[in-house]
Structure 1
């Protein structure tokens, strides 16, 4: 039996309790437990059961395990293609380092959204250094949730755009297991398995996943452009129930690692047009190497009209990324971005990058930098839900508190290399320490939200508070500083209403205050990002038909961005510095619709349509040295936000086989906002991507699945950052076999 505990709820522990209740031997206990289960799901679901109308204001999307299995994606970018209001900047084609934004916030390293795993912040250092250089392997997920709108105040610290919650497999009620193996072109291999055993009140789950690929890019002179990733997770669960209370204790342990031959160096537009999957010789030493470990202990208790979930967590992440940074600066040396944007003017540098010319006797060496960083994040959080009546009004009250601490320690070095006959050779110079610093944050966050039910009208009022105590220290020899400390306190209110037109449809509206903190090293001249966010929508749900239309406006009082190496080569010497832009506005429309047709003979035809329109622009003129902005005139567009995005999904499904097609459209995106910076006036082209998948179930003998990513082999420039043009993923065929017991 294969149960997907995340199809109806957002918390693993809640589903485990429900499954255990269903297995109770005593009939009377079963009836009572079933009632508790129903009441619990009423309290715990975010968007509600698919057979019921969700009356919560705000846009929320759940992708359950059945949907994830349709395409067997390894890339979170492709998974989120069916979610409205998501904007993405692709980078490596595999989704190794995702760039995800919601409702117009910059997708750069997903640093402006909250990323959770099983309800806990999973970023390396969510307060001190939120850039998501670590991201869980999506093949092991059993559900993905996206929250936008007023619900954002429940999940911090970033409340401007929304939250992405990644759900892992829970310990199931029955003994079961699964083996999944797959292969593809470019040396791709996947092996995924789990086994779960339950005896009485005790259950255990062991799960492992490994993937690897030789890569689809061809390195000048030969070499590997692929990756290898491994992920192991264990869960131990114990149920302790009584007549009045349900309790679950769960321990989750995880370890993951990655070695990938990735680089920030792209191509000139001309080389992209000729050989889009080429990699220059100067990128041959590119290597990312990281390890991640996690420990999470959960306790859940539920009574007649309340439930309380407490989580204690610790995450460690260590990474070292070796890559080409720049040429040694001799006073007039162009940046890598400038060389690739104008290879004719900078021909000699271009010849060296491509290995066609040795650099010795022409100019200084190439600088290969290794950014070595260590992170940890830890904390404890408790979330309470309580349903009660007062003065004839039903209240659904939620409150939570979290004590969190995280840290990043940077040790960045550079080594000098010469290009000799198309190969990089050490210049023999001592390793240069470029950056050594530490940033850490301690945060206390609290929220309270009450939903008042007035028959057809539901009114929700909420408030979130964040107190952040952060500090920064420069550890570089000769530049050492004492700890520089600062404190930030902010209150973030939100309100929403939902009016039921009938049992299947309703109108909703909401407003909330958005906030994104500054990093510990930023001085008082860098202001926090603040916004006021509005939304108005209509929702319909009946049987197998769903429709939601949402209009939104995000009015930024003070837009903020940071200069990272994933932004530009000019950020190498200015890494992690933040910039302010003043007022900006993003408005748009999100439409999602789906229906499942019964065409007879036991065959269904599911279809879905998702469309997002965004209009994002600066409202003030200003001058900036930040590479995404430059000299901006009011009305200039915000970069990396397509005006139009769309996806259409179509399928044929029976109980034994399925065939699915997903077509995605991504509109053009500006590479920079203003003038006088690299890539000013340059944009990516709009393009379509078509993915197909099919599967056949051999009953007791497992399931065979086939899929093709990018069926038409469409290739376009998805971005010219970090340094140069980068391609979309080429056509790739997969075949896999999955067996469950």
Structure 2
């Protein structure tokens, strides 16, 4: 039986020791314990993954560890190619800072989705500053779960798009460990290991991983363009179970760090066509350097009729983001120089960016900024599941309560440099200039209630979520510049599933979507709100699985914030803008089947298709770069009309091979026309990328596996975005070979 994300967590939480006087007694007790575990998994399952027809309402997708290992992806963007309804704006080619949206929600820094790890909000400050500059290292993740529409009502605060939950490795029942070593093109290296066990009532697990690469871009006059990421995790648990009560306490500690020589500056169209992997000399000092730590203490308890899971958590994230901001001459913008290199003084400034000319005078000096920030979040959440019979009808009641506090502290500074013979030379030894010192803090209480009932072949689920937020903004340099506000909202949802036969069913759902404003936004800035509808069908005959869902998100207000990562030329960085009414609708479809070519060879195939359309319903003019002058009927940026992923594989006893083809249609990058915006009318081209993977089991399996993969086997490179500042390439072909063993 496949496990869901929550199932994997629970498996780690309910491990019981096995002590016996002889082997037979030990085997019996292990069998009994695992049976109890399976029963518990059934009680709290979010997505059903049995071989039969799934009967839960709502749109939900789960990718298990086996699927994740098939292609050994380190990039969440590539993993989510197998999930319908996902829209992504790629940026660096490695997925270091993903831009993920669901069902047309703005993908910028994944800030519209509820991003979780093991059920805990993991974005640096989910309420105060939800842009996910930190993202968990997916190479250590063992499951990916995506919820959209009514299925996401339990996972706020953001319920417009949905929720993405990543699960970590559970503590094993017995002694277990593994090692994964890989190397490849562009200096790619991976070293991953874990070991854990359960001894009597005590269980433990330690896991560590490092992934690094030299990068595929070439910096003018030399320099680093790669990254180095590490992640460490420790889990400890202790079984407190009695005869009538399952009970366990678990402690989890994690630490992650990254140093990446990334930049926001891209290329002109002409330079991209000549060498798509080029980087200009002015970006030689650009560097992201961050650390992230998290602590989670979990108490799990289960009786015959109820399950309660309580988690207390703390997350800390600190970053230094050194990057090129532009020139001292503030009338000349980076995005304008790159987009219109022949206009006015742009050729002269472009030559300085390339290091081909030295800067002269104060105006041509380069400004580099360090957007240093500190984030924290902490809280406690409790989730209860209770089965009861009322008026002759069985109810599954789910109730959750969370108290959460998070904060962001901005400490932005700038330094001035001259370009000299292709090298950046600091002008003075003075301390950096302070540009933005402020903090935003949110205290939130959220609650949800959900009831599922089954009446013959009809399963109905109704729920409601409440978000009660108190927020404060403070300029650290001006005691009089502050703002306090509060938000109170209830978000209902309902879904239904009708089982027409053992193989075929139909689903329907509607829920209210919501994304709060950040603490610094003025009261007149509206929160993002929508009513989301979905209707579809699901089929499973044991050999073929298929699902098709039509969705319609009716936004009463779409909002967006102006950031450096969106090529921000706004008056105030992180200021939010309203766009009013917007419609986003489309179709999500998946189908899979495994053909038995012989007694020993299977051929699994899988197809995932998404059709999306969008439409602004109002005319307006905005200086937000992605909008501009918008007329009713214009489309939302970075939302491809068609996306298709097709996977075909071959598998036998000791080997498997898979081919994945991903097509993403063209995307507009600015909604409106008429404003003097750098990228008005620009769009990304349609992109088709083919990935290959294969693995072979050595000996009888005890000696491990060798795997081989090629991302982008045809070396297809296109412009994936003109943002933040210029054309950016997709990742070229990358070849990798690795060895892994479990023991």
Quick one: structure 1 residues 33 and 306, their matched pair in 2 at CA, closer, same or farther if it must change by over 3 Å?
farther
Correspondence 1:238-257 to 2 at 5 A: 238-257=238-257
Cα offset for 1:422? 1.2
Query: Is the CA contact (8 Å cut-off) linking 2:15 and 2:198 kept in structure 1?
Result: no
Correspondence 1:7-46 to 2 at 5 A: 7-16=3-12, 20=16, 25=25, 36-46=36-46
Quick one: structure 1 residues 736 and 642, their matched pair in 2 at CA, closer, same or farther if it must change by over 3 Å?
same
Query: Is the CA contact (8 Å cut-off) linking 2:180 and 2:740 kept in structure 1?
Result: yes
Aligned position for 1:585: 583
Distance 2:653 2:307 in 1: 37
Quick one: structure 1 residues 393 and 618, their matched pair in 2 at CA, closer, same or farther if it must change by over 3 Å?
same
Distance 2:603 2:17 in 1: 34
Distance 1:723 1:27 in 2: 62
Correspondence 1:352-391 to 2 at 5 A: 352-361=352-361, 363-391=363-391
Q: For 1:258-281, what per-residue CA distance to the aligned partner results, in whole angstroms no more than 9, with x for missing partners?
A: 011011000001110110000001
Aligned position for 2:506: 507
> What is the SS of the residue equivalent to 2:338?
helix
Distance 1:602 1:21 in 2: 38
Aligned position for 1:622: 620
Distance 1:363 1:328 in 2: 5
Quick one: structure 1 residues 207 and 27, their matched pair in 2 at CA, closer, same or farther if it must change by over 3 Å?
closer
Correspondence 1:569-718 to 2 at 5 A: 569-571=568-570, 574-675=572-673, 676=675, 677-698=677-698, 699-718=701-720
Cα offset for 1:503? 1.5
Q: For 1:616-641, what per-residue CA distance to the aligned partner results, in whole angstroms no more than 9, with x for missing partners?
A: 12111101110000010000010001
Aligned position for 2:305: 305
| TM-score normalised by structure 1 residue count | 0.97
Q: For 1:542-562, what per-residue CA distance to the aligned partner results, in whole angstroms no more than 9, with x for missing partners?
A: 323210000000000010000
> What is the SS of the residue equivalent to 1:462?
strand
Distance 1:718 1:35 in 2: 49
Distance 2:217 2:29 in 1: 60
Cα offset for 1:197? 2.2
Distance 1:729 1:308 in 2: 45
Aligned position for 2:740: 738
CA RMSD of aligned residues (A): 1.6
Aligned position for 2:566: 567
Aligned position for 1:409: 409
Aligned position for 2:350: 350
Aligned position for 2:547: 548
Cα offset for 1:524? 0.9
Q: For 1:201-256, what per-residue CA distance to the aligned partner results, in whole angstroms no more than 9, with x for missing partners?
A: 11110000001111100000000000111111000011222221111111001111
Correspondence 1:217-296 to 2 at 5 A: 217-296=217-296
Aligned position for 1:487: 486
Query: Is the CA contact (8 Å cut-off) linking 2:512 and 2:532 kept in structure 1?
Result: yes
Deviates more, 1:661-670 or 1:35-44: 35-44
Unmatched segments (≥5 aa) in structure 1: none
Aligned position for 2:319: 319
Quick one: structure 1 residues 193 and 452, their matched pair in 2 at CA, closer, same or farther if it must change by over 3 Å?
same
Distance 2:247 2:26 in 1: 19
Cα offset for 1:43? 2.0
Cα offset for 1:21? 8.5
Q: For 1:292-332, what per-residue CA distance to the aligned partner results, in whole angstroms no more than 9, with x for missing partners?
A: 111001111111121111111000000010000011135xx
Q: For 1:657-712, what per-residue CA distance to the aligned partner results, in whole angstroms no more than 9, with x for missing partners?
A: 10011000001011100021221111100010000000001122110000000000
Q: For 1:137-182, what per-residue CA distance to the aligned partner results, in whole angstroms no more than 9, with x for missing partners?
A: 1000110000111011110000001100000000010101101000
Distance 2:18 2:511 in 1: 39
Aligned position for 1:114: 114
Query: Is the CA contact (8 Å cut-off) linking 2:5 and 2:144 kept in structure 1?
Result: no
Query: Is the CA contact (8 Å cut-off) linking 1:204 and 1:237 kept in structure 2?
Result: yes
Distance 2:438 2:226 in 1: 31
> What is the SS of the residue equivalent to 1:348?
helix
Distance 1:403 1:23 in 2: 39
Aligned position for 2:394: 394
> What is the SS of the residue equivalent to 2:153?
helix
Query: Is the CA contact (8 Å cut-off) linking 2:329 and 2:363 kept in structure 1?
Result: no
Among residues 725, 728, 742, which one is paired with 1:726 in the alignment?
A: 728
Distance 1:547 1:94 in 2: 31
Does 2:458 align with 1:462? no
> What is the SS of the residue equivalent to 2:493?
strand
Deviates more, 1:402-411 or 1:235-244: 235-244
Aligned position for 2:163: 163
Query: Is the CA contact (8 Å cut-off) linking 1:690 and 1:710 kept in structure 2?
Result: yes
> What is the SS of the residue equivalent to 2:57?
coil
Distance 1:61 1:406 in 2: 29
> What is the SS of the residue equivalent to 1:339?
helix
Query: Is the CA contact (8 Å cut-off) linking 2:7 and 2:41 kept in structure 1?
Result: no
Query: Is the CA contact (8 Å cut-off) linking 1:13 and 1:248 kept in structure 2?
Result: no
Unmatched segments (≥5 aa) in structure 2: none
Quick one: structure 1 residues 12 and 50, their matched pair in 2 at CA, closer, same or farther if it must change by over 3 Å?
closer
Distance 1:22 1:565 in 2: 55
> What is the SS of the residue equivalent to 1:700?
coil
Aligned position for 1:212: 212
Distance 1:297 1:544 in 2: 41
Q: For 1:348-395, what per-residue CA distance to the aligned partner results, in whole angstroms no more than 9, with x for missing partners?
A: 111111111111148331110000000000000000111111111110
Cα offset for 1:46? 1.7
Query: Is the CA contact (8 Å cut-off) linking 1:77 and 1:98 kept in structure 2?
Result: yes
Aligned position for 1:443: 444
Distance 1:621 1:8 in 2: 44
Cα offset for 1:30? 6.7
Query: Is the CA contact (8 Å cut-off) linking 2:688 and 2:716 kept in structure 1?
Result: yes
Q: For 1:435-479, what per-residue CA distance to the aligned partner results, in whole angstroms no more than 9, with x for missing partners?
A: 000000000000000011101011111000000000000013xx4
Distance 2:521 2:13 in 1: 45
> What is the SS of the residue equivalent to 2:348?
helix
> What is the SS of the residue equivalent to 1:282?
helix
Aligned position for 1:539: 538
Cα offset for 1:29? 6.4
Distance 1:420 1:17 in 2: 59
Distance 1:390 1:193 in 2: 50
Aligned position for 2:200: 200
Query: Is the CA contact (8 Å cut-off) linking 1:180 and 1:738 kept in structure 2?
Result: yes
Correspondence 1:118-157 to 2 at 5 A: 118-157=118-157
Cα offset for 1:40? 2.1
Query: Is the CA contact (8 Å cut-off) linking 1:178 and 1:193 kept in structure 2?
Result: yes
